[in-house]
Amino acid sequence: MKKGFVYLVGAGPGDPGLITVKGKECVSLADVVIYDYLAGEQILDFAREDAELIYAGKIGGAHNHEQWQINDLLVEKALSGKVVTRLKGGDPFIFGRGGEECEALKTAGIGFEIVPGVTAAIGAAAYAGIPLTHRNVTTSVAFVTGHEHPDKDESEIDWQRLSLGSGTIVFYMGVKNLPQITSSLLEHGRAPDTPVALVRWGTRPEQQVLEGTLSDIAEKARKAAFKAPAITIVGEVVKLRETLRWFDSKPLFAKTVLVTRSENQAGEFSAMLAAKGARVLECPTITLLPPESWGAVDAEIERLASFDWVIFTSANGVNFFFERLAAKGLDARAFADCRICVVGAKTAAHLASHGIKADLMPSDYKAEGVVAEFAKLDITGLKFLIPQVDKARDVIPKGLAAMGGSVITPLTYRNSTPDNIPAKVLQALEEKRVDCVTFTSSSTVDNFAAMLGENRMLHFLEGVKVAAIGPITAKSCRDIGLNVDIEPEKYTLEEMTEEIVKYFTI
């Protein structure tokens, strides 16, 4: 049997955007991904659907696998012919035991490659606004373990040199031993007023920074119950944080926002909120499906040239309709004899991606706005095609028909309700860790209530701010007993994001 291959990949300190391009590629091509406690969960989304995912990190603070077991697992999977990606928090060779794993692979005759990652000291310090070197402060930095191997008879750390130098010192895994670390530095001559910063969960939305000096940081950490995982930064550069902090000064930093869009659409909105500093939880409440039969859509595609207007009320409608066009060997040229109306800038953008500019986009991004625009025209006898989702509001078809238009509304896609709420979302709701929940359509409201149960949902959302993208969605919220705190005047994700920011910063 052909031997496999192992990639040791540094996942970075937590922000999934900090993994390297090559690291991401290694995750996506792997048959097996063996990952650590500190490797960002979202990075696993890059793995193939059929990839085997094995957690080798800590559970309840204790190691799930001993190091020798991880070594054996890497060898076993590779010898079975698998491509294995060993995903490690930070960098594999900076206190990551990557060297030990490579030695085991080398002994077994298995090929491997190292993909460096952003180590915690660099990533967490940068996100805390602390430059580890600065030519006006210090030109050296040392990375030191704060937790040496328990079998050692004595410390291998040269406390004398560390203490008397002026360079920055970064201790990894040192929160538990912080009293001993600070005492050792003080005993060997480091000044008591030397600035110190502890950075917990660096680069993540839940990042915490505790500042002090060598003389008081251990006591501050004890009083604050400051826990691992964290790094300790010692040196004058810590003072620069007051000027350079950027990550934890974002307007939504430390706020948890629950996004209830469909799974394939949540990412865009989540990214907008995360850019403002929010901790985003995604709870897909809609699964988009094609119609059970394409017959009705196909029939209208065959006579598309006979329609005067095609109205797309959502980006999803555009996507599904064009997907069916392509399946039948057609493209944008099929619309040559039609004019096209869209509801909303997002729908217009999706249409434009297929090479078509909308002829009409009402300024009011809802069904009533479409009817109002066509009321300005004489549409008697005109034929309208409206690709629809199931359970769509009938405002547009009824309004156009009342003005003399002929309207066809083939079912183009369906909204289905997922079976379960993600466990991490349930836990956050139960522990009252959600600050804001967002609804971008009436379907997201109704489906969220159906998935949780209406009474349970109302209980979970007590004290949680509710953001609804427009009046129709807001009405759906109020109809089931929710108060709407945030409602943008323009019904776009960008405006929704800005309104959430305004609410939490005013």
pLDDT of residue 256: 95
Query: Which residues have CB under 8 Å from 36's CB, separation 6+?
Result: 11, 56, 57, 87, 88, 89
Instruction: Quick: pLDDT tens for 248-290.
Output: 999 999 999 999 987 666 688 999 999 999 999 999 998 889 9
Contact by Cβ (8 Å): 330, 476: no
Query: Which residues have CB under 8 Å from 216's CB, separation 6+?
Result: none
Catalytic residue among 3, 24, 58, 220: 58
Residue 395 has pLDDT above 70, yes or no: yes
Q: Specify the higher pLDDT residue, 412 or 36.
A: 412
Distance CA 249, CA 207 (A): 11
pTM, entire model: 0.77
Instruction: Quick: pLDDT tens for 440-487.
Output: 989 899 999 999 999 999 999 999 999 999 999 999 999 999 999 999
Instruction: Quick: pLDDT tens for 13-47.
Output: 999 999 999 999 999 999 999 998 766 678 998 99
CA distances, 393 to each of 265, 355, 363, 491 (Å): 21, 28, 19, 17
Q: Which of 206, 141, 201, 148 minimizes the C-alpha distance to 176?
A: 148
Give yes or no for a cis peptide into 387 (omega within 30° of 0): no
Contact by Cβ (8 Å): 258, 281: yes
pLDDT of residue 165: 80
Structural domains of the chain, ranges and CATH numbers in brackets: 5-118 (3.40.1010.10), 122-247 (3.30.950.10), 256-286+418-505 (3.40.50.10090), 289-415 (3.40.50.10090)
pLDDT of residue 94: 94
Catalytic residue among 36, 91, 435, 446: 36
106 is annotated as an active-site residue: no
Paired residues of 439 in beta bridges:
468
Backbone phi, psi, residue 224, to 5°: -85, 0
Contact by Cβ (8 Å): 179, 226: no
Paired residues of 211 in beta bridges:
197
CA distances, 38 to each of 55, 59, 204, 459 (Å): 11, 12, 11, 33
Most confident range, picked from 149-163, 212-226, 415-429: 212-226
151 is annotated as an active-site residue: no
451 is annotated as an active-site residue: no
Which alpha helices (DSSP H) does 30-177 contain, by range?
A: 67-79, 98-107, 120-127, 159-164
Would you call 152 exposed, middle or buried from its count of C-beta atoms within 10 A (0-12, 13-18, 19+)? Answer: exposed
pLDDT of residue 147: 76
pLDDT of residue 435: 97
**pLDDT confidence tier of residue 59, bands split at 50, 70 and 90:** low
Instruction: Name the DSSP class of 352.
Output: H
pLDDT of residue 148: 65
Catalytic residue among 3, 24, 72, 173: 173
Reduce the DSSP state of residue 125 to 3 states and report it. Answer: helix
Q: For residue 207, what are its two tokens?
A: 């990042």
